[in-house]
Amino acid sequence: MLLNILIPLVCIVFDQIVKYWASTELQAIGSIPLWEGVFHLTYCENTGAAFSMFTGQRWMLLGVTVVLLAALLWALCKGWMQNAFGRLSLQLIIGGAIGNMIDRVLMGYVVDMFDFCLIDFPIFNVADIFLCVGVGMMILYILVMEPKIEKAKKEASNDGDGVSDCDA
């Protein structure tokens, strides 16, 4: 239970520290090439969501975030994710969503800074990383791990019913 609070909190704090640095230091510079033409730290204010979709739709994005967070918190509290991997996926998504929500509430935009110029990828931030990793983990959990967990539960319940597989 403590990890359900601690992991999202660590995600939020780390995200907000990096965004604070970007706002106070990087904004004045604009961009710092770490690997010229490949990867830069570039200050950007994103009023949209991923890939700048829904630009300028602050209140809609906040509403969707609140509903999503409520559903994720409910799933976490209900124990829908039956192992640590599944729970971690929810915790990362919750931390990332709250990190970006804080920006939207306080400033009306999300601060982004990681810029892969080589492939012209949208600029993103720490919270986005937590969200993407969490969603990827959730997909793996749902498609790969959960069916195995359910199969093992079913086999365990069949083993205890007094009927062997040979009798069936």
Q: What is the pLDDT of residue 163?
A: 52
Nearest to 86 by CA among 156, 133, 146: 146
| pTM assigned to the model | 0.87
What does the alpha-carbon distance between residue 141 and residue 87 come to, in Å, rounded to a whole number? Answer: 10
Q: Which one-letter amino acid corresponds to residue 27? A: Q
Alpha-carbon dihedral angle through residues 17, 128, 26, 54, given to the nearest 10 degrees: -130
How many other C-beta atoms can be found within 10 angstroms of the C-beta atom of residue 27? 14
| pLDDT at site 91 | 97
Answer yes or no: are the C-beta atoms of 58 and 108 closer than 8 Å: yes
Q: What amino acid occupies position 147?
A: P
Report pLDDT for 100. Answer: 96
Give the mean pLDDT per block of 10 residues along the chain (168 residues): 93 98 97 96 92 85 96 93 94 98 96 94 96 97 88 81 50
- Residues with catalytic roles: 112, 128
Phi and psi (nearest 5°) for 113? -150, -15
| Amino acid 168: pLDDT | 45
